[in-house]
Amino acid sequence: MHAAFTTFSPARRWATLAALAGVALVLGCAPALDWREARIDGAGLAAMFPCRPVAQSRQIDLAGVAVTMTMHACEAADGTFAVSVADVKDPAAVGPVLSALKQASLAKLGRPVEPVAVADWRLAGATPQPAAGRWRLSSQRPDGAPLSVDTAVFARGTWVVQATVIGRQPDPKVNSPFFEGLQFAP
């Protein structure tokens, strides 16, 4: 034991240990989330992420349309948070591409899963589209661990957007601020 610590009376040692334990408890309970706004170029969208997102772009084919999809994503609170955007350039392609994004989310789960629609979810400023919406899905990872996907697809003009949270289990305290933080610039 450190010499300075042993010179304290037993009561003072216990008080010091209790104070240190309290500090450790508070630090151990510090939030793992660091909410910040990210501007998604091109789409005119702002998103709130619980961590610092990293952007990556790649060429993909969605519903027969070749697009450059840019994904902004980060990991926090045992989940992956992502917003993907692409300009499909053709208004007639928006609906089929939104449907393809939803189907791609389902296919990644590996087995047939019935999504549960989030009733009345709409994003202000989004272009009305029949294929737009938000869904929650539950499945299992190959190792048997639970897997939860909360995803939304929507559009503004010819820009299509998919916002997704993937994790072990849905957490409304995290998922709700992420989806509520999606906003189009006026």
pLDDT at residue 13, as a whole number = 39
pLDDT at residue 80, as a whole number = 94
pLDDT at residue 175, as a whole number = 87
How many Å apart are CA 48 and CA 180, to the nearest integer? 8
CB 93 within 8 A of CB 61: no
How many Å apart are CA 182 and CA 161, to the nearest integer? 11
CATH class of residue range 36-184: alpha beta
Chain length of the chain: 186
pLDDT at residue 110, as a whole number = 66
pLDDT at residue 112, as a whole number = 62
Q: Where are the domains of the chain?
A: 1-30, 36-184
Mean pLDDT per 10-residue segment, the chain (186 residues): 46 40 38 86 93 96 93 93 96 96 80 76 93 88 84 96 89 87 91
Q: What is the pTM of this model?
A: 0.79
E strand map for the chain: 36-40, 45-49, 54-62, 65-76, 79-87, 116-117, 133-140, 146-156, 159-167, 183-184
Structure tokens at 137: 């899905």
How many Å apart are CA 127 and CA 156, to the nearest integer? 5
